Homo-oligomer: A and B are copies of this chain.
Amino acid sequence: MTRMPSRIAVIAIDAVNPRLVAEFWCNVLGWHVVDDDDEGVISIAPPDGAWPTIDVLGVAGRKAVKNRLHLDLRADGVATPDELERLLSLGARRVDIGQGPDVSWVVLGDPEGNEFCLLSRSVQKV
A binding-site residues for B, Cβ under 8 Å = 1-14, 28-30, 41, 52, 55, 59, 63-65, 67-78, 83, 87, 114, 117-119, 125
Contacts and interface: CB of A to CB of B under 8 A. Distances in A.
A72 B9 contact: yes
A29 B5 contact: yes
Contacts of A12: 69-72, 117
B11 A28 contact: no
Given A4-B78, A78-B3, A69 B69 contact: yes
Contacts of A13: 68-69
30 contacts: A1-B77, A3-B78, A4-B75, A4-B78, A5-B30, A6-B74, A6-B83, A6-B118, A7-B73, A7-B74, A7-B76, A8-B52, A8-B71, A8-B73, A9-B72, A9-B119, A11-B69, A11-B70, A11-B72, A12-B69, A12-B117, A14-B68, A41-B125, A55-B125, A65-B65, A67-B68, A67-B69, A68-B114, A69-B69, A69-B70
Contact of A55 (B68, B72, B78, B114): B72
